[in-house]
Each structure stands twice: as C-alpha cells, then as structure tokens.
C-alpha cells in the first residue's frame, strides 16, 4: 500500500516523531544531571533495566502468543532452534559477531531443511 499523504504531511510526521523521541532520550540525562547523588533505591531499580529490556526485545522475536482460536504459543521451529544455538554461542563466547553469524547460518540451514 502506498501513502496518500503529500511530502509536507510526511515532513510533519517525521519532525513530530523525531522531536518526541528526542525528548524521551534526553529526559533523564538532563534531569539526573541536576541531582547531586541518585537515591540508592533508584540506582537499585535501574540496575535491572538492561537485562529486562534486552530480554523483552529478544524473546518475542522468537516466540509469540496467538489468541485465536485459543490462547497458545506459536513459533517457527527454525527460529527457536536458531535462537537456542545462538544463545549458547553468546553465553559461551560472549562474541557478538559469532552469535549473529551462527544464528543466521542456523536459521538459513533449518529453513533449507524444511
């Protein structure tokens, strides 16, 4: 489908989305810059952000929930196997390039098999 919007409207969307996104990025970098010392509770909570967000980005790319006809987990076997193999590589080697390379190769390999 192609858009019915003229370039002017698209500019408006791009600028508004860009400004809104920038405000989110800048928010706490400016705010916490004004505080001398972060409260320990806040620091203790923020400690969990990387693990939580990264896991939330990874898992739905491999497994998804389908609601019809009944709630069930749906997945493509090739993706799950590729992700498991990539996870082993990530865990054992800590090497990002190897994780991507092995994961993609596994995905294509399982895709070719069936």
Partner 1 sequence: MSVRGDYLAGARAVAPVLVGIVPFGLIAGATAVAAGIPPFQAVAMSVIVFAGASQLAAIDLIGRTAPVGVVVLTAVVVNLRLTMYSASIAPYFRGFRAPAKWISAYVLTDQAYALSLTEFRETAPDERSRLWFYLGAATPLWLVWQVATAVGAVLGASVPEGLSLGFAVPLTFLALLFPAIEDRPTAGAALVAGVVAVAGAPLPFNLGLVAAAIAGVAAGTLLEMRAGTFPTTGHVPDDGESA
Chain positions 24 to 53 lying near partner 1, rule: CB under 8 A, are 24-33, 37-38, 40-53
Minimum CB separation from partner 1 for residue 31, in Å?
7
Minimum CB separation from partner 1 for residue 105, in Å?
11
Q: Token pair of 54, please?
A: 């990264």
Which is nearest to 85 in space by CA: 103, 101, 72?
Answer: 103
Interaction between residue 57 and partner 1 (CB under 8 A):
yes
Give the Cα separation of 20 and 43 in Å (integer).
Answer: 26
Nearer to partner 1, 28 or 77 (CB): 28
For 55, other C-beta atoms within 10 Å of its C-beta total 10
């Amino acid at each position: 489908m192609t858009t019915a919007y003229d370039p002017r409207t698209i500019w408006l969307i791009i600028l508004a989305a860009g400004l809104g996104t920038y405000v989110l990025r800048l928010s706490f970098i400016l705010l916490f810059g004004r505080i001398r010392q972060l409260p320990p509770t806040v620091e203790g909570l923020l400690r969990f952000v990387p693990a939580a967000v990264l896991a939330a980005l990874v898992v739905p790319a491999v497994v998804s929930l389908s609601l019809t006809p009944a709630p069930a987990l749906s997945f493509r076997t090739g993706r799950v196997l590729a992700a498991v193999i990539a996870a082993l590589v990530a865990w054992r080697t800590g090497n990002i390039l190897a994780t991507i390379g092995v994961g993609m190769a596994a995905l294509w390999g399982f895709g070719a098999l069936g």
